[in-house]
Amino acid sequence: MERIQWQLARVKSIVQETPRVKTFTLALPHWTPHLPGQHYDLRLTAEDGYQAQRSYSIASPPEQTGEIDLTVELIDDGEVSAYLHEGITVGDQLEVRGPIGGYFVWRDAMKHEPLLLVAGGSGVVPLIAMLRHRTKIGATNPTRLLFSVRSVEEAIYRTELEEMAKQDAQFELLLTYTREAPAGWTGYHRRIDRTILTDVLNRFATQPFSFICGPTLLVEQVANTLAELGLPADTIRTERFGPTGT
Amino acid sequence: MNPETDTINEALRLDGNAVAGDLQMLMGFDVTLLQAQCRHCRKDGVFASLIAYVRGPGIVLRCPTCEGLVLQIVKTPTSVIVNLEGMARSEIDLTNR
């Protein structure tokens, strides 16, 4: 593992994913290949020297070289996310360091194991990096994404995920809407609970390795329930995003 | 105890992943896969699963089992102070998985 240093990235493009979520593509002078699931730290420095720092998961796969996509949700009272959403335009520079973390990562050695991904809201960001990389390397392991969102409008990467599910018979997208479901929706329409998780686990022929990411309370509840349902604790990996909303 | 404050604290807590950048810069290796033993309850666990409170003046990491204090990090303008008192033992697997 290399020593990491702060570097100045240039904002190459900005995409509005949902009303409260933007993806920033950053060109890095010192890009190093990352593992899907890793994050970068981003640091803002005010003129008076005050600094604020946050961690943002990488959405792009390592095959996208020289740059990284960071997908950022606008958090109420979030000093860093508000600045990124309202104060940053293409061409601006941002101070980042990474890639960071070797725990919440999907490694190529796992490509034959069944995979369960569970996301709440913007918790889908590190998981899309895993899915994009999994597609790039042509893995055929049974994979399911259980994705909890408030409404259709707030489902980040929805079009891409639906397309992925159409193209890949081994990948299943399971959405649950916690508020407004689209007209005619016959899928899950509530917060993730024990019944949903039992149902999802039953779709696997053998026990999956799992990654759970999203708001802290969702992550802890899902991890505890999966352990109660018999998944070994060392096959459940978690990353808490704090008070982000679903 | 104030139930409302408790809920806010619960929602705000992060985990060891969130402080990995600071520690990697300090120590030169990724700490998230470090196996650590809590000095209070003697439970073993991976560093990434420690509970992290990062919104205070310093960073506080607690044991997910007994909530005992495992590690504190305070940054000053000229130094970083790390208190590892709550970690009984730690081990890093060099095979990297």
End of a domain among A58, A76, A100?
A100
The percent of residues in chain A predicted with pLDDT above 90, rounded, is 91
A133 and A210 housed in the same domain = yes
Does the distance separating the beta carbons of B12 and A240 come in below 8 Å? no
* Structural domain count of chain A: 2
Query: Which value, in Å, is the radius of gyration of the alpha carbons in chain A?
Result: 18
Give yes or no: residues A22 and A93 share one domain: yes
Please report whether residue A245 resides in a domain. Answer: no
A232 touches chain B (CB under 8 A): no
Confidence category of residue B6, pLDDT binned at 50, 70, 90: low
**Is residue B75 a part of any domain in this protein?**
yes
Is A48 domain-assigned? Answer: yes
Chain A: nearest CA to B83, how far in angstroms? 21
Band (A245; pLDDT cuts 50, 70, 90): very low
In a domain, A169, yes or no: yes
Domain that holds residue A215: 108-240
Is the confidence at residue A73, as pLDDT, over 50? yes
Q: Does B12 touch chain A (CB under 8 A)?
A: yes
Taking CB atoms and an 8 Å limit, are A55 and B21 in contact across chains? yes
Is B21 within a domain? Answer: yes
Domain that holds residue B48: 14-91
CA A208, CA A154: separation in Å to the nearest integer?
27
In total, how many domains does chain B have? 1
pLDDT at A2: 63
Identify whether residues A119 and A194 lie together within a single domain: yes
Q: How confident is the model at residue B3 (pLDDT cuts 50, 70, 90)?
A: low
Asked if A44 and A80 touch (Cβ cutoff 8 Å), the reply is: yes
Rounded distance between C-alpha atoms, residue A156 and residue A161, angstroms:
9
Please name the member of A4, A239, A243 whose beta carbon is closest to the beta carbon of B15: A239
State the average pLDDT for chain A: 95
A215–B contact, CB cutoff 8 A: yes
- Choice among A163-177, A183-197, B74-88 with the minimum mean pLDDT: B74-88
Q: Are residues A91 and A135 in the same domain?
A: no
- Domain membership of residue A206 (yes or no) is yes
Q: What is the domain-level CATH number for residue A175?
A: 3.40.50.80
Contact of A55 with chain B, judged by CB distance below 8 Å, is answered with yes
Do A182 and A210 sit in the same domain of this protein?
A: yes
Question: Which of A77, A100, A123 is the endpoint of a domain?
Answer: A100
Q: Does any domain span residue B33?
A: yes
Q: Are residues A24 and A137 in the same domain?
A: no
In a domain, B52, yes or no: yes
What number of C-beta contacts closer than 8 Å exist between A and B?
74
Where a domain ends, among A70, A100, A130?
A100
How near does any CA of chain B get to the CA of A98, in Å? 7
Partner B, chain A 2-21, Cβ-Cβ below 8 Å: 3-5
B85 vs chain A: nearest CA distance in angstroms?
Answer: 23
pLDDT at position A246, please?
A: 37
- The token duo for A166 is 């159409």
Please report which confidence band the pLDDT of residue B1 belongs to, taking 50, 70 and 90 as the band edges. very low
Instruction: Mark whether A112 and A234 lie in a shared domain.
Output: yes
Are the Cβ atoms of B13 and A242 closer than 8 angstroms?
yes
Is residue A132 located within the same domain as residue A166?
yes
* Residue A45 placed within a domain: yes
Q: DSSP letters along chain A, please?
A: -PPP--EEEEEEEEEEEETTEEEEEEE-TT-----TT-EEEEEEE-TTS-EEEEEEEB-S-TTSTTEEEEEEEPPTT-HHHHHHHHH--TT-EEEEEEEE-SSS---GGGTTS-EEEEEEGGGHHHHHHHHHHHHHTT--S-EEEEEEESSGGG-TTHHHHHHHHHH-TTEEEEEEESSPPPTT--SB-SS--HHHHHHHHHT-SSPPEEEEEESHHHHHHHHHHHHHTT--GGGEEEEE--S---
